[in-house]
Structure 1
Amino acid sequence: MKIAVDAMGGDYAPKEVVAGIELARDRYPEIEFDLYGQTDKVKPFLNNADHINLVQADEVIAMEDEPVRAIRRKKQSSIVLGAQAVRDGKDDAFFSAGNTGALLAAGLLIIGRIKGIDRPGLTTTLPVLNKPDQDQFLMLDVGANADSKPFNLYQYAILGKYYAQTVMGVKNPRIGLLNNGTEADKGDMVHKAVHEVLATAKDLNFIGNVESRELLNGVADVVVTDGFTGNAVLKNTEGTALSMLKLIKSSIMAGGISGKLGAAMLKPVFKDIQSKMDYSKYGGAVLLGVKAPVIKTHGSAKAETIANTIGQIQTMLKNHSVDNVVDYFDAHSEEMAQAKADMQK
């Protein structure tokens, strides 16, 4: 396995990226890493070069750069060169903690879509709380496409199913459609059309509409939504978790000595809650529907999160998750064409 890494992407790059890759190298000795970046800035942080190759990239795509323009103009950037290496078969997957839009553009414009997939979707894994037999669920799209058609959401359900099976180990994943109510006739025309198609799909375990308030309770294994809604729900979930932790902390500090003593006694409980809410341990966001794994982690990610994300990529490569999707869409090309035609009527 060979993974291309954008060594310059992220708030703490290249230091934390290099540290994370060294951690991952020690965990997964079967993987080789190509680190694309400005070698004079990357090399000082590299303690051990075993299985790690430095590849010079003269340019850097910054967080504030306009994604498509940057991909087209900065041909010698770490993101462009890494994506080209994957396209050309030199590397098997691409990882970055940098500009999300640029990474998505590189995945679409350089690596390319799988034949038969209209719009790849960005997926993330979120925690499930207080459910012994389920600790995570998958949601897509969470930001690759602000505007989506019913056919796109239908394809997201298929992409999510295969990811849940090959990476999360769920044999028959429950697929839910994010909506403003659980009744079959809820939502706008897009959601009604998607519900109708998913309800009749023979090879999908569709459980119907699900509401956002039930997501962290494990109502489904795969939650399908459009990119605008998915991104809003994701950021709301992140914001609520952070706000609650800040509220608890401020309440403890305002509670005087008794509050602080109580907090000290409950410290293991707080750590357990924090661990359950930390979805970074499951890895990064994956652009599903392109010809090779393309994975993005938070710009603020540090070494441990980066190493966890490499573990996610290793599972994708080992279980041939992209190959399974390619085989499915090749075998069901006529069915896809008919479904698309039906939804456009």
Structure 2
Amino acid sequence: MAHIALDAFGGDHAPYEEVKGALLFVEKTGHKVTLVGDEKKISPLIPKDSKIEIVNAPERFGMSAKPTEILKRKEASMNVAAMLVKEGKAEGFVSAGNTGALLVLGTFLLGRMEGIERPAIATVMPSKSGGTVLIDAGANLSLKPPHYVQLGIMGVAYAKGILNKKNPKVGLLNVGAEEEKGPDLLKEVYSLLKDKFGETFCGNVEGRDVFYGDVDVVLSDGFSGNIVLKTSEGVGLFVSEMLKRSIKNSNVIQKIGALLMKGTFDKFKESLDYRKYGGAFLLGVNGIVVKAHGASDSKAIFNALNVAATGIDKKIIDTIRGSV
């Protein structure tokens, strides 16, 4: 049974959606959750017979706050949640709060793993192969060539340990598939990855390959990776909205057909819904850290907690340590 600390005041809809998601998660899975936040505001939202614990942390760390300030804000809910992991009172923590602050806590409070210079955000993108690991998805705006090798090691460990892929194929995000494409930095990275991963390195991949390519792990700097991530969210929302408009403006026969296809449309919509994937791991630090979307509702929080529990159960930290 996993024990997860949840920053109850991280997201846009905190603490209501965090509490709802946590209650459902505990009920459905039996795992333990400790809510971290203003006890006066959280307590009225929790049934008296609930097994969920509360750790009081009266301060909320805002999205616009300077990330490095989190280390000084000892009573901020995100800081206290991370400290529970640091002290061994929880096995991991989840937050929908300030991404930069989460990175600071992971790097400087929990500490980097030996052999990892740049912790990175890893997320699973929907793909025809059942999910592609995108790393880095926003932690590091720029990287040096050796850092990409470290990303590859962490991404492969994620694909093996969490997605159960036996021999994950690794690709380098670039503007073209040819080896000579891209800036000099990526040409150097290409050579390093080829030496490190051998036949499992499938070379350069383009943005479309994240979703429709024969690749399991896509490596990128955080700037480009975050653009891919946010663009995919926008495309998913756009496609869903256009389907609704098309059905609304169709004739009676077409609407009947759409009604008969409702189950198929719902499954398609779900495959593009960021809430299904819940959260992204911050890999390369000494602890399970999961970043949930800032706009997370209870469904997204539930799934983010599930991501953390899976990481704990699959011992993703030990797997990475054994690979570095």
TM-score, normalized by length of structure 1?
Answer: 0.88
In the TM superposition, 1:270-309 aligns within 5 A as 270-309=265-304
> 2:97 — aligned with what?
98
Cα-to-partner distance string for 1:246-266 (whole Å, 9 max, x where unaligned): 222223333354553443233
Question: How far did 1:314 drift?
Answer: 1.5
In the TM superposition, 1:107-126 aligns within 5 A as 107-126=106-125
1:219 matches 2:214: yes
Counterpart of 1:45 in structure 2: which amino acid? L
1:166 matches 2:167: no
> 1:74 — aligned with what?
73
Change (3 A) 1:327 1:48: farther
In the TM superposition, 1:248-263 aligns within 5 A as 248-263=243-258
> 2:43 — aligned with what?
43
> 1:25 — aligned with what?
26
Change (3 A) 1:303 1:48: farther
Question: How far did 1:301 drift?
Answer: 1.5
CA distance in 2, matches of 1:169, 1:54: 34
CA distance in 2, matches of 1:322, 1:288: 8
Question: How far did 1:203 drift?
Answer: 6.9
> 1:14 — aligned with what?
15
User: Are 2:123 and 2:280, in contact at CA under 8 Å, matched by a contact in 1?
Assistant: yes
SS at match of 2:114: coil
User: Are 1:96 and 1:296, in contact at CA under 8 Å, matched by a contact in 2?
Assistant: yes
Match 1:143 to one of 127, 138, 147: 138
Cα-to-partner distance string for 1:49-81 (whole Å, 9 max, x where unaligned): 544211110211122222222x03422010111
CA distance in 1, matches of 2:144, 2:51: 43
Change (3 A) 1:232 1:258: same
Question: How far did 1:182 drift?
Answer: 1.0
Change (3 A) 1:188 1:289: same
User: Are 2:233 and 2:272, in contact at CA under 8 Å, matched by a contact in 1?
Assistant: no
Cα-to-partner distance string for 1:67-97 (whole Å, 9 max, x where unaligned): 222x034220101111112112221111111
Cα-to-partner distance string for 1:151-182 (whole Å, 9 max, x where unaligned): 11111000000111111111111111111111
User: Are 1:37 and 1:57, in contact at CA under 8 Å, matched by a contact in 2?
Assistant: yes
1:235 matches 2:230: yes
User: Are 1:167 and 1:312, in contact at CA under 8 Å, matched by a contact in 2?
Assistant: no
How many corresponding residue pairs? 323
CA distance in 2, matches of 1:147, 1:58: 35
User: Are 2:170 and 2:217, in contact at CA under 8 Å, matched by a contact in 1?
Assistant: yes
Question: How far did 1:299 drift?
Answer: 1.7
Change (3 A) 1:317 1:309: same
Report the more deviating stretch, 118-127 or 238-247. 238-247
| Aligned-residue identity in percent | 38
User: Are 1:137 and 1:218, in contact at CA under 8 Å, matched by a contact in 2?
Assistant: no
Change (3 A) 1:203 1:184: closer
Structure 1: gaps spanning 5 or more residues: 330-345
1:314 matches 2:309: yes
**RMSD of aligned Cα (Å):** 1.8
Counterpart of 1:21 in structure 2: which amino acid? A
SS at match of 2:153: helix
Question: How far did 1:328 drift?
Answer: 2.8
Structure 2: gaps spanning 5 or more residues: none
Counterpart of 2:104 in structure 1: which amino acid? A
CA distance in 1, matches of 2:184, 2:56: 50
User: Are 1:150 and 1:194, in contact at CA under 8 Å, matched by a contact in 2?
Assistant: yes
> 2:87 — aligned with what?
88
Question: How far did 1:45 drift?
Answer: 1.2
Structure 1's consecutive aligned runs of 4 or more residues displaced over 6 angstroms after TM superposition are none
User: Are 1:125 and 1:279, in contact at CA under 8 Å, matched by a contact in 2?
Assistant: no
